[in-house]
Chains A and B, each alone.
Chain A
């Protein structure tokens, strides 16, 4: 019974969160461009309706099974990632000891899902998007792995609940100041957003989504937003103390912190420009990865008895 309730709340959080992300995108875009945006609440729903009745595009000799399964895999990964985050004390849908490692597999399988989404239509621009994304996405994932090891150190556990518990006195965002900024890079990367959207960006005409339309595209876009929600919840559990906080009940704190991180990520996605893939690759390996090592060193020194 509890498990059903927990799984339902994961699904509800992802759906509601994806809508909130779409509204935030509209609001931030309007605020930055200075244009009035009167129907910002309705627009995501209108887009959804339009996708549902849209014709499906066909390509020459696609891999049909993979084409349908890749968006579904992406959405499922978002759900899997969120399922290990405790919504309240001891209240995670999947309370596994190695929760951080599960999240790591979610990150990697996301790279695989995006690659397959770009590969399966058998078309040029999607394949270019897929290739670019794997190079950048794997680098961002590597950076995040060291950051996550740093988070597990003070908790002496790979369990997300234990990691939240270890931040009762001091949040990890203070204890390891480099951690959250580096982890946010991964958030932009796993949700194909703004400066790290090397898969679906406009410079290659929509990249891996260039050939997708209709319900397939709807699922893919919704999964991108859902993955951002899943990431924000994980980041708030790993760095902002998750569901812990005074006065209010746990889920309210988690929701508040997740919404705050979502807003930060959406604004960053709109404000930061996308660099050439080669320059981003250099930045990842020569600046961000050494910073991640420094973060791990700080975490290690802090965890010494």
Chain B
């Protein structure tokens, strides 16, 4: 067993163990960063395969995504610091069955495939080849996928932000009344207040 084989097995084990822990932990922040650890191990495996750009880019992208995801999950959920234990799984039986089926399905592919034995040229420059592929022949596909994803994100934000906490946000969001049909609860915006005194600012 060479050093690269040993590194592959170690990294694979880290990726699997961290990925498993994602579903066993009780905190969103822990889950996000365990998932990051799993992805970093996968990125390192790509480095072992001499896919330097893809490996580092995976680590880079996943670090941004998981950090932002952890932050937003904590912000939008009821568990501010993410350290109070909470149940993080839904439909665990079905999810476990689906996970095992997917793992088995994916594991069968490398076992049954007859991979070609075509060692790459040592002089090959995979980064330049990747760049030429992405921005050459596949540029139209690549760019349309990018713009579609961006449009999807903006659309998702707009759709999800329409239903505000107190009804559709484009109708003007007002809290419900304290009794049915009553005056909206809470403080009113300044422009609606009859008292036009200077509010809470400093005296000029």
Q: Do A and B come from one complex?
A: yes
- Which A residues are within 8 Å of any B CB, using their own CB? 61-63, 66, 96-98, 101-102, 104-105, 108-109, 111-112, 115-116, 119, 122, 127, 131, 134, 138, 158
Does B29 lie within 8 Å of A97, measured CB to CB? no
Question: A98-B127, A105-B56, A112-B63 in contact; A138/B68 too (CB < 8 A)?
Answer: yes
- Which B residues are within 8 Å of any A CB, using their own CB? 29-30, 33, 36, 52-53, 56-57, 59-60, 63-64, 66-68, 70-71, 80-83, 125, 127
Question: A97-B52, A134-B71 in contact; A111/B63 too (CB < 8 A)?
Answer: yes
How far is B70's CA from A105's CA once the two chains are assembled, in angstroms?
Answer: 18
Does A101 lie within 8 Å of B64, measured CB to CB? no
Q: Which residue of A lies closest to B75 (CB)?
A: A131
Does B83 lie within 8 Å of A112, measured CB to CB? no
Give the residues in chain A near B30, CB-CB below 8 Å.
Answer: 63
Give the residues in chain A near B127, CB-CB below 8 Å.
Answer: 97-98, 158
Does A119 lie within 8 Å of B82, measured CB to CB? yes
The interface centre, meaning the residue of A63, A97, A101, A105 with most chain B CB atoms within 10 A of its CB, is A105
Select one of B59, B64, B68, B81 contacting A119, CB under 8 A. B81
The interface centre, meaning the residue of A96, A97, A111, A115 with most chain B CB atoms within 10 A of its CB, is A97
Q: Which residue of B lies closest to A60 (CB)?
A: B83
Least Cβ distance of B59 to chain A in Å?
A: 5
Main secondary structure of the interface of A (DSSP, over half): helix
Does A98 lie within 8 Å of B53, measured CB to CB? yes
Does B70 lie within 8 Å of A115, measured CB to CB? yes
Does A98 lie within 8 Å of B56, measured CB to CB? yes
Give the residues in chain A near B82, CB-CB below 8 Å.
Answer: 119
Does B56 lie within 8 Å of A108, measured CB to CB? no
Does B60 lie within 8 Å of A115, measured CB to CB? no
How far is B63's CA from A101's CA once the two chains are assembled, in angstroms?
Answer: 13
- 5 extra interface residue pairs, beta carbon distance < 8 Å, beyond A108-B60, A109-B63: A97-B125, A112-B33, A112-B63, A112-B66, A122-B81
How far is B83's CA from A61's CA once the two chains are assembled, in angstroms?
Answer: 8
Listed from nearest, the 9 A-B pairs whose CB atoms lie closest are A108-B63, A101-B56, A105-B60, A98-B52, A105-B59, A98-B53, A122-B83, A112-B67, A109-B63
How far is B81's CA from A61's CA once the two chains are assembled, in angstroms?
Answer: 12
Select one of B29, B67, B83, B125 contacting A108, CB under 8 A. B67
- What's the A-B contact tally at a CB cutoff of 8 Å? 62
Give the residues in chain B near A111, CB-CB below 8 Å.
Answer: 63, 67
Question: A104-B56, A105-B59 in contact; A134/B81 too (CB < 8 A)?
Answer: no
How far is B33's CA from A127's CA once the two chains are assembled, in angstroms?
Answer: 16
Give the residues in chain B near A62, CB-CB below 8 Å.
Answer: 83
Question: A105-B59, A158-B53 in contact; A112/B68 too (CB < 8 A)?
Answer: no
How far is B149's CA from A89's CA once the two chains are assembled, in angstroms?
Answer: 43
Give the residues in chain B near A108, CB-CB below 8 Å.
Answer: 60, 63-64, 67
Give the residues in chain A near B33, CB-CB below 8 Å.
Answer: 66, 112, 116
Does A112 lie within 8 Å of B53, measured CB to CB? no
Least Cβ distance of B203 to chain A in Å?
A: 23
Give the residues in chain B near A138, CB-CB below 8 Å.
Answer: 64, 67-68
Give the residues in chain B near A101, CB-CB below 8 Å.
Answer: 52-53, 56-57, 60
Select one of A66, A109, A122, A158 contacting B59, CB under 8 A. A109
Question: A98-B127, A134-B67 in contact; A119/B60 too (CB < 8 A)?
Answer: no
How far is B82's CA from A211's CA once the two chains are assembled, in angstroms?
Answer: 18
Give the residues in chain B near A131, CB-CB below 8 Å.
Answer: 71
Least Cβ distance of A179 to chain B in Å?
A: 20
Question: A116-B33, A119-B81 in contact; A97/B67 too (CB < 8 A)?
Answer: no
Q: Which residue of B lies closest to A156 (CB)?
A: B128
How far is B32's CA from A231's CA once the two chains are assembled, in angstroms?
Answer: 27
The interface centre, meaning the residue of B52, B70, B125 with most chain A CB atoms within 10 A of its CB, is B52
Q: Which residue of B lies closest to A101 (CB)?
A: B56
How far is B29's CA from A115's CA once the two chains are assembled, in angstroms?
Answer: 10
Least Cβ distance of A185 to chain B in Å?
A: 18
How far is B82's CA from A303's CA once the two chains are assembled, in angstroms?
Answer: 48
Give the residues in chain B near A158, CB-CB below 8 Å.
Answer: 53, 127
Give the residues in chain B near A63, CB-CB below 8 Å.
Answer: 30, 83
Q: Which residue of A lies closest to B32 (CB)?
A: A112
Q: Can you report 30 residue pairs joining A to B where beta carbons are below 8 Å apart?
A: A63-B30, A66-B33, A96-B52, A97-B52, A97-B127, A98-B52, A98-B56, A98-B57, A101-B52, A102-B56, A104-B60, A105-B56, A105-B59, A105-B60, A105-B63, A108-B60, A108-B67, A109-B59, A109-B63, A111-B67, A112-B63, A119-B29, A119-B83, A122-B81, A122-B83, A131-B71, A134-B71, A138-B67, A158-B53, A158-B127
Give the residues in chain B near A97, CB-CB below 8 Å.
Answer: 52-53, 125, 127
